[in-house]
Structures are given as C-alpha cells and as structure tokens.
C-alpha cells in the first residue's frame, strides 16, 4: 500500500493516500513453535506473549498504517479506494494498495471470483492477467467504477482482508515472532512489507532485515530489542530514501521511532504520532 511520499491522491472522503508501492512478495520466515505443556502442572498451556495478531493490537496496526497511507485512521473506508497514482504500477486500490501491475490485485480478484462468480470484477480477469507487470490500463475500461461497486459487497471486503493477511500481515508477524520481537517490532516488519514487499531487490523487506542483522542481533539471537530495532529502522530509512516516492521517512521518524524511544513495545494506548506533519491519536 503505499505510499509514502508527500504527494497526494485524489479526493477521498477519508483522507489522502501517499504514493508508494512494493514488488512481489515471497514467503517470510517460519512461525514460532507452540509452547510445550509443563509436566508438573495440570493440563495448563504455558503462557504466550501477546502479539500483533491479538485482535486489539491488529486493529491498532491497521489504523497506524492507514494514517500513513490515507491520512485517516478509518482503514475500513479504503475498501472502495482505487486510483492510478502514476508510480508505474497501474491501479492501486483497496485496504492494502493492491496493484494491477504487481500481481496482488490479480490474486485478490481471482479469490473473490472463486468465492462469488459473476461479481462486478470477474469479467476483468483476462485483462488483469495481461496488464500484470505493467502500468497499462488496457482492457480495464470501467474497472474503477466496478471496483467501487464491488467494495459494497461484504464478500469482497472479506477477500481483501484475507489477502492482506495471507500475503502481508501473517508472514510479517510470523517472522517478527521468530526473531523474538515485541508487538512494536512485529509492526515495524509489517509496515515494511506493506511498503517494500519481500522481493529480491535491495530495498525489499528481507534485505532491510539483512542489513539490520549485520548491525545488531534480535532477541531470538540473544540481542537487545532496542538496539536491534534501532538498527532495523535505520535500514528501513535507508531503503525508503532509495526511491523518491518513499523518501519522506516520517512514518518511521515521528511514529515508530517515537514509540521505541518511549519504550512502548506493546503499542499500548494512548498513542500519539505524526506522519507527513499530520498528528494522530489513539486513546
């Protein structure tokens, strides 16, 4: 999704989308193994640390990302969003910025059509296959209107949620847990995957993480989380500055870095932060 520069999208009721996009995503690291039963206790599972996948924390994550990408905390209002932000990736749309040029929009519409044949977007599948990997709109006449119509369908909203989780949220959180990171660290990973993807290019999530690992160890390797997350955010800022559309780093500098300085590793409200100069609050 997004979009991470000072340029804006066309008027939307909920705010402004910041231009940016990522490459194709690969599979992130393995998930954390389940805790073992304690033999001396009666059938009680060992306690699990809260993660970003806790429903309340996940809602905070969605709102944090939306503040940067849409200048709004109302992430659910973005199901209907669609626009060509002139970043070379065709149409950008929906709650995570699915793109007609990067494959994830095609996957989403394919899933939606499997679940609900004859939906307003189904007839565009052949065109989406042809434009994949390009910024072309060929064969997509009327597609934005069809997208906005489909966005009123709860089945399409659920498909967006599911693809967001499958491709972005779940893999990022799983890798964060494997690295022994807190809710804040898991969010830093998720926000990176949203913007940069997990391809093979130097600015992808996996290579941001690799740059950080060269400077500090995560908790799972015996390191200090504050030191590691500072190294990770440094690497993230470097990656953002490699592309003009991402060059405004306030989503790190005046948001994630602030939470880290406060020692708010669980992202406990109240949260106050700024993105692109806009102030946000979660009470």
Q: Are the C-beta atoms of residues 183 and 50 closer than 8 Å to each other?
A: yes
- Interatomic CA distance for residues 5 and 27, integer angstroms: 27
State how far the Cα of 158 lies from the Cα of 108, in Å rounded to an integer.
10
Which residues does 108 contact at the CB level (< 8 Å), separation at least 6?
94, 98, 159, 160, 163
pLDDT of 230: 98
Predicted local distance difference test score (pLDDT) of residue 246: 78
Strand pairing category for 271-275 and 91-93: unpaired
For residue 32, the model assigns a pLDDT of: 34
Q: Helix (H) and strand (E) counts for the chain? A: 11, 5
pLDDT of residue 40: 37
Q: What is the pLDDT of residue 33?
A: 35
CA dist list (Å): 67 to 21, 101, 167, 252, 272: 16, 24, 21, 12, 11
CB atoms near residue 26 (< 10 Å)? 14
Predicted model pTM: 0.84
Using CA atoms, how far apart are residues 76 and 83, in angstroms rounded to an integer? 17
Q: What confidence score (pLDDT) does residue 192 get?
A: 97
Rounded CA Rg of the chain:
19
Print pLDDT tens along the chain (283 aa). 433 232 223 333 344 444 444 443 333 343 333 333 333 334 444 445 899 999 999 999 999 999 998 899 999 999 999 999 888 899 999 999 999 999 999 999 999 999 999 999 999 999 999 999 999 999 999 999 999 999 999 999 999 999 999 999 999 999 999 999 999 999 999 999 999 999 899 999 999 999 999 999 999 999 999 999 999 999 999 999 998 877 899 999 999 999 999 999 999 999 999 999 999 999 9
Q: What is the pLDDT of residue 171?
A: 97
pLDDT at 43: 41
Longest dimension (CA), the chain: 66
What's the confidence (pLDDT) of residue 18? 47
Catalytic residue numbers? 69, 87
Its sign, for the CA torsion 54, 177, 49, 216, is negative
Q: Which helix (H) or strand (E) holds 98?
A: strand 98-99
The span from the CA of 102 to the CA of 131, in Å, is 9
């Amino acid at each position: 999704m997004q979009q991470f520069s000072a340029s804006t999208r066309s008027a939307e009721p909920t705010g402004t989308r910041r231009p940016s996009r990522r490459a194709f995503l690969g599979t992130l690291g393995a998930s954390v193994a389940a805790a073992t039963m304690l033999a001396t206790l009666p059938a009680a599972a060992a306690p699990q640390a809260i993660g970003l996948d806790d429903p309340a924390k996940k809602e905070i994550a969605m709102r944090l990302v939306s503040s940067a990408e849409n200048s709004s905390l109302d992430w659910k209002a973005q199901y209907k969003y669609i626009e060509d932000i002139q970043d070379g990736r065709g149409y950008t749309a929906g709650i995570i910025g699915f793109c007609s040029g990067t494959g994830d929009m095609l996957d989403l519409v394919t899933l939606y059509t499997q679940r609900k044949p004859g939906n307003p977007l189904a007839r565009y599948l052949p065109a989406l296959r042809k434009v994949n990997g390009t910024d072309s709109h060929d064969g997509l006449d009327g597609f934005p209107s069809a997208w906005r119509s489909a966005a009123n369908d709860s089945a399409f909203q659920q498909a967006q949620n599911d693809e967001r989780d499958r491709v972005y949220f779940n893999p990022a959180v799983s890798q964060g847990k494997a690295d022994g990171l807190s809710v804040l660290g898991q969010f830093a990973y998720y926000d990176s995957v949203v913007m940069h993807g997990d391809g093979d290019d130097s600015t992808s999530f996996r290579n941001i993480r690799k740059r950080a690992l060269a400077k500090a160890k995560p908790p799972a390797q015996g390191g200090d989380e504050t030191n590691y997350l500072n190294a990770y955010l440094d690497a993230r800022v470097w990656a953002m500055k490699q592309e003009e559309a991402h060059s405004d780093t306030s989503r790190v500098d005046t948001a994630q870095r602030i939470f880290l300085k406060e020692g708010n590793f669980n992202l406990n409200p109240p949260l106050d932060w700024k993105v692109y100069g806009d102030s946000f609050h979660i009470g």
